[in-house]
Amino acid sequence: MDHLIQQKVVEIASEVEKQLDSEIEKLDNLNIDDIEKLREQRLKEMKKMQQQKRTWLSQGHGEYTELSEEKEFFDVCKKSDKVVCHFYKNGTERCKIFDMHLKLLCKKHLETRFIKLDVEKCPFLTGMGRLKIKLIPTIALVVNSKTKDYIIGFTDLGNCDDFSTEVLEWRIAQAAAINYSGDLMHPPDKTKMQKQPATKKTIRGRNSDDSDSD
């Protein structure tokens, strides 16, 4: 059995080596025209990305913005392909913790629009059940105008108040709401993810064993 495994590993290594040799040979055979074409292609890609960044910035990306009314939520989702929306309530400490992390992430992920909305100002979204905003804090992850996922309280973040910005980033990436280069299968901080459940409250601030967070 061990012999077969070793043989398979050798075969895979040999195939990878052949592929690398082929790529190296292609690079060695590039002439001046080929190099110039690659350079032009790279410049076009860079210019396109710069234009995209300018468009994102003009739409409010790069900032953590508070909306004044729920109508703006729909306008934002129409203009931006990726949206992270924090539904909060004044005076809730854990909402402030989300604020702290989201202010950092909005600078790092220009491809995504980061916003917040007071639940008291969005009765249609919360009261009519259009979105599943029953507990606070809740983060809605919207991709291409469709709500893909929710982060309800700190349940998915280790059930602790001192989770890292990287853990929240990893959780947001599960819904493809940001461009993420890390390992989606494993959170950045496994020890924090294994903590015990935190105190829980409903959107009205009352204690509840059935709710996810305060």
pLDDT score of 123: 84
| Each residue's pLDDT tens digit, 48-97 | 788 888 888 889 999 999 999 989 999 999 999 999 999 999 989 999 99
pLDDT score of 25: 66
pLDDT band at 15 (very low <50, low <70, confident <90, very high): confident
**128, pLDDT greater than 70:** no
Looking at the chain, the domain(s) classified CATH 3.40.30.10 span 62-193
Distance CA 114, CA 200 (A): 25
Mean pLDDT taken over the chain: 82
pLDDT score of 198: 46
* Torsion, Cα of 146, 149, 152, 155 (10° steps): -170
Query: Which residues share a beta bridge with 127?
Result: none
Q: What are φ and ψ of residue 114, in 5° steps? A: -105, 120
> 194 versus 177: which is more confidently predicted?
177
> 185 versus 9: which is more confidently predicted?
185
**193, pLDDT greater than 70:** no
Q: What are φ and ψ of residue 28, in 5° steps? A: -65, -30
pLDDT score of 187: 87
Query: Which residues share a beta bridge with 149?
Result: 141
Q: What percent of the chain is predicted at pLDDT more than 70?
A: 74
Tell me how many degrees the CA angle 25-29-32 measures, rounded to the nearest 5: 145
For domain 62-193, the CATH architecture is: 3-Layer(aba) Sandwich (3.40)
User: Highest mean pLDDT range out of 19-23, 80-84, 201-205?
Assistant: 80-84
